[in-house]
Amino acid sequence: MTSRDGFQWTPEEGLAQGIPSIGVISPPTNILSGSKPWDVIVVGGGYSGLTAARDLCVAGLRVLLVEARDRIGGRSWSSNIGGYPFEMGGTWVHWGQPHVWREISRYQMRTDMEPSFDFSRGVNHFQLRTNDGTSIMSHEDEDTLLATALQKFVNVDGSLGRKIIPFAHDSFHVPEARQYDSMSAKDRLDVIAPSLTPNERAALESFVLLCSCGTLETTSFFEFLHWWALCGYTYQGCMDSLISYKFKGGQSSFAIRFFEEALSTGRLSYAFNSPVEAIKDEGSKVTLTTRDGRQYSGARLVSTIPLNVLNSISFYPPLDTQRMAAANQGHVNQCVKVHAEISNKDMRSWTGISYPFNKLMYAIGDGTTPAGNTHIVCFGGFNNHIHPEEDVRETRKAVENMAPGNMDIKRLVFHNWSKDEYAKGAWFFSPPGLLSTSLDALRRRHGNVVFANSDWAVGWRSFIDGAIEEGTRAAMTVKEELQSNPSPRLRL
């Protein structure tokens, strides 16, 4: 099946919208005419929504999953182009992420993981291109460069952040740590600038921007410290947790397990291609209205709508002022992620930074396609923003500029998250001040509406693990209420 989402380009076929994926659901609904109200409506088929829907179905509740897209996965989904999974959004997972690992174990997918990096053959080097020229170094020297720079960046307490953030999951309630949320990455860089070499500064800035996909001025320094703490306060921990391990079959091969388990209970109804217009809490029930006028009711509703989209939905009663202020401000991540299939097999062991002059900035060799070509994944666009589908020639140029003379492009694949009306950005990253003022408000319920999204998880916020954490929390909240007090449930 082919999703409406995503684009691919080849020299032979040109640009085409729509990517085949095993995450596309057909038929798009299983609701029968005359269906009566559900116990719970879950809005959104990403990992938060899939987790909540599955857990509630398994608990014996009747659940309706409403999704605007034609597929599951939300901001984490993969292609199935000739059987190869180009990851359109969230990609990497790690056994140190507890909620992800629980689900990987649940679905017996431990052996379905593989490393992104393969430095066993080929060019086997790191290429740093800056305004000052090009440096080629070993991956060991790459690690030393980045580790040294990052340690200078995070060492606000003489212990690489361990004292200031001893518990990454509860850091925003610690005054000594909370103060850093008013500081941007640029503010912190200015403090340590005299201690950085030009190469350290270029590598550090590009790594920070890879995490936030905003600008240095709009990147919360504290949120970066939070990521650092989650990764064990080490550069190697960051590399292992953030960009090293993925599913052989792609994220959609994981997400589909949640959906299939929920469906197997016989208690899951679903409606895809169903953008939400309004959510009304009437006390005895919550009614959802889609853009085309369909209405569905349940005793509770779990909203997994991302922060940057929340202000496009009409809520009654209206959402509180603090939550709306956060939604109106939004997070900063406007990542451009472009996959390139290239003919040069030796580039499988290549990594590179091209900063700050190029419209793509950070790239790695990430796999070998069935045709034997190298798969390169590139990130950038947040300093010199591009919309890849609007100018493929410019996008190709940006890929080629990552390693001039080595990028014979056979295919480009991408999803423009900035122009995706159901995301309005990629994974969450906070601007200064947003979370210290609004995290608790974003996590609060709103009457019979419970909010669950990775954007306000307390652990691996903005990661797949955080999405599962939030879906688990919402399902437990709703399950305990409805099963301990059956009267609010809307029965057949």
Q: How many residues does the chain have?
A: 492
Q: For 229, how many CA atoms within 13 A lie in the half-sphere containing its CB?
A: 26
Report whether 343 contacts 356 (CB < 8 A).
no
Phi, psi of 29 (to 5 degrees): -150, 150
* 67 among annotated binding-site residues: yes
* 48 among annotated binding-site residues: yes
Report whether 478 contacts 48 (CB < 8 A).
no
Report whether 240 contacts 92 (CB < 8 A).
no
- CA angle, residues 473, 72, 247, in degrees to nearest 5: 85
Report whether 38 contacts 490 (CB < 8 A).
yes
* 463 among annotated binding-site residues: no
- Rounded CA-CA distance 346/408 in Å is 12
* 377 among annotated binding-site residues: no
Nearest C-alpha neighbor of 434 from the set 226, 248, 293, 164 = 226
Provide the pairing of β-strand 38-43 with 295-303: parallel
Helix (H) or strand (E) holding 325: helix 321-329
* 379 among annotated binding-site residues: yes
Looking at beta carbons, which pairs linking 190-199 to residues 24 or more positions away fall under 8 Å? 192/152, 192/153, 195/152, 196/149, 196/152, 198/130, 198/132, 199/128, 199/130, 199/135, 199/145
Report whether 199 contacts 130 (CB < 8 A).
yes
- Rounded CA-CA distance 20/70 in Å is 11
Binding residues for FAD: 48, 67-68, 276
Binding residues: 48, 67-68, 276, 379
Binding residues for substrate: 379
